[in-house]
Structure 1
Amino acid sequence: MTTTITLRFTVRGGTAADLATVNEVPLARELIVETDTGKQKLGNGITAYNSLPYMHAGVTSVDASGGSTGLTFSGGPITGSGTLTLGGTLAIANGGTGATTADGAQSALGLGSAATVNTGTSGAAVPLLDGTNAWTNQQRFASGIILGTATQILTGTGTPESAVSAPKGSLYLRTDGGAGTTLYVKESGSGNTGWAAK
């Protein structure tokens, strides 16, 4: 005949503070539960309670560090509930700019003023080289203008004949010229001859 006996048992326990105060040596394989934290320790018959490790204690504290990245964390360590707050600036070596403002980032990265200006075809914008741009102010070209693939508009002093090379169809504006010697048109050749005063 089979007899079934139903048993209920409890394990030894107490609050964390009480168990720490007593600090006795639990028996080997004696299980002790902290009733206020839910944490457990298993005795080995040798080690006092306070020196025993918790069983499967899991994470009891969370903290963070920015290391050498330039970032900082505040609010830790968190042992219950709380918030870690990220601060600081991410260094350039770690993919950041090392700055907290657009101007500071521009300076830290060595970017020119055009880095924070929009592109466009008019107004205070960086001109698009493949667009039709509207210039509202004078533009100065130090060495002339090339039209199309070769034809040029040039300027200088003295006659361009035998002095200035340009393709046929180019114009030369002589700044020290007079009547009939201010505008020259390249009518022939591709070297420095073939200029005709107009």
Structure 2
Amino acid sequence: MRGTLFIVAAPSGAGKSSIVNACLARDPNIRLSISFTSRGPRPGERHAEHYHFVSADQFQAMVAAGDFFEHALVHGDWKGTAKQSVEPQLAAGHDVLLEIDWQGAQQVQKQVPDAVSVFILPPSREALEQRMRKRAQDSEDTIRKRLAAAREEMSHYDEFDYVIVNEHFDAAVDEMCAIFVASRLRRPMQQARHGGLIAALLADDGAAS
């Protein structure tokens, strides 16, 4: 049975990565697709664990070769999901999570209409700015650019199946995990998973009176 593709997007600073990591630690049935990016690593980020870090020229060569499932220019840097990071795992029956931006989400949704998409919102614009500054990893100019882009990013929330407001972290994690579980319980998924059981339950054994 083919796995489910989950798409999770949010504006920078909304807590997307923290929520995703907490859900991955709780749900062993989810596989995270590691994206490629042309930007340099931030403090604490490691190659092939947080991103596949490549040069802009390398990224463009991959685009030309058709290697990407989706790709987009985000805050001046390229990000993308390689096809080999997604399709083999889905075909093997594993659920795969894409932690991407709204531009990438649009591309994926066109190619995989049954993908389940989630958008994460901050509880307020003030909280969003505070979270950006708390990271202390970006310059003041970068923070201003990210805040300016956040409103545009959040305007695309209505293109997603589910919306989570990350006001209380633990509650947001619970809600995300609930989406994973509910998606696996959809009728077509259960029909594929338990076809034998359903057939046996509905069989006419001639005992009915």
TM-score by length of 1: 0.19
Structure of greater Rg: 1
Higher helix proportion, which one? 2
TM-score by length of 2: 0.19
